[in-house]
Chains A and B, each alone.
Chain A
Amino acid sequence: MTTGLIDRREAIRRVSALLGGIALVSESALLAGCRDRSADRGGDAARFSDTDVAFLDEVAETILPETKTPGAKAAKVGAFMALMVTDAYEPADQKIFRDGMQQLDAACRTKHNTAFMAATPEQRLALLEEIDREQKTYMDGRAEGAPAHYFRMMKELTLTGYFTSEIGSTKAMRYVETPGRFDPCLPYSPGETIWAAHA
Chain B
Amino acid sequence: MSISTSDAILLAHAAFGITGCLAALWVFVETLNAQPENAGRIRIAALLTALSVAGAWICGGYWYVHFYPAEKALILQGPWPFAHNLFMETKEHLFFITAILAFLLPVIIRDKLYSSAAARKLVLSVAALIVITALALEGAGAVIEHGAKLALLRGGAKGTQ
Partners in one complex: no
